[in-house]
Chain A
């Protein structure tokens, strides 16, 4: 079974800390998404990557296709960054079965 593994599962940090969340997957993908889910349940797409690196504000996402690994970084973390961060991949090889999701990383940023 194709799996998406995220680490850590839970992370508590102090405001201002640099945060890294990791995602690894098992087979070739066509794209990887980083999603943010707030306590109310709504999901926002943060990044979609197929190679390299993307930056948006304090968020940076990188992907290494050869190593089948992606990281999401948050610089100068803030309590409003507290959320569940979910990695999701679209496997290559055709098919239209949507995204396969990791179990998420529950991030808490304390003031």
Chain B
């Protein structure tokens, strides 16, 4: 597709279950970012991938969160043993090159609700 695609668009899960969120970046974009927007809060950085380099995980809130990017393209954000405070919109963005000097393109987000 022409844009960043995220799936699912909405996910309701029970507390304690694991969830996987998927991001398909724009083809050819080497940089991929995951962000989280909790209710009433601003966006916060979670994790960054650049090509085949080791990801920058400095924003991950706990060890229940992990992410992979296979083949430098599709990324999966996994949340294990979900908690209610994990409820948020999870946004993925990609850009042609790393850093802030290239335009970032955002997906529509996955709205996660933990009940």
- Which chain A residues have a beta carbon within 8 Å of chain B's beta carbons? 29-33, 35, 40-45, 48, 50, 86, 88-91, 95-104
Given A98-B35, A103-B41, output 15 extra A-B contacts at Cβ < 8 Å.
A31-B101, A32-B100, A33-B100, A35-B106, A42-B106, A43-B93, A44-B106, A48-B102, A89-B100, A98-B48, A98-B56, A98-B59, A101-B35, A102-B42, A103-B42
Interface of B toward A, CB cutoff 8 Å = 33, 35, 37, 41-45, 48, 50, 56, 58-59, 89, 91, 93, 98-109, 111
Assembly CA distance A97 to B56 (angstroms): 7
Is A100's CB under 8 angstroms from B45's CB? yes
- Chain B residues, CB < 8 A from A42: 106-109
Q: When chains A and B are docked, how far (Å) is the Cα of A49 from the Cα of B82?
A: 38
A90/B106 contact (C-beta < 8 A), A101-B43, A101-B44 known: no
Name the B residues within 8 Å of A44 (CB-CB): 106
Q: Closest residue to B59 on the A side, CB-wise? A: A97
Residues of A within 8 Å of B103, CB to CB, are 33, 45, 48
- The answer to whether B104 and A45 have CB atoms under 8 Å apart is yes
Main secondary structure of the interface of A (DSSP, over half): strand
The distance in angstroms between the C-alpha atoms of A44 and B101, with both chains bound, is 16
Pair count A-B, CB < 8 A: 77
B101 and A99 within 8 A (CB): no
- In the assembled complex, how far is the CB of residue A69 from the closest CB belonging to chain B, in whole angstroms? 17
Asked whether A31 and B100 contact (CB < 8 A) given A45-B105, A98-B45, the answer is yes
User: Are B59 and A88 in contact, CB atoms less than 8 angstroms apart?
Assistant: no
Q: Which residues of B contact A103 (CB under 8 A)?
A: 41-42
Decide if B101 touches A30 in the complex (CB within 8 Å): yes
The CA of A99 and the CA of B45, in the complex, are separated in Å by 7
Contact between A104 and B42, CB atoms less than 8 A apart: yes
Q: What residues of A have a CB within 8 angstroms of the CB of B35 in the complex?
A: 98-99, 101
Can you report 10 A-B residue pairs in the complex whose CB atoms are below 8 A from each other?
A: A30-B99, A40-B108, A41-B111, A42-B107, A43-B106, A45-B104, A48-B103, A101-B44, A103-B42, A104-B42
Cβ of B104: which chain A residues have Cβ within 8 Å of it? Answer: 33, 45, 48, 99
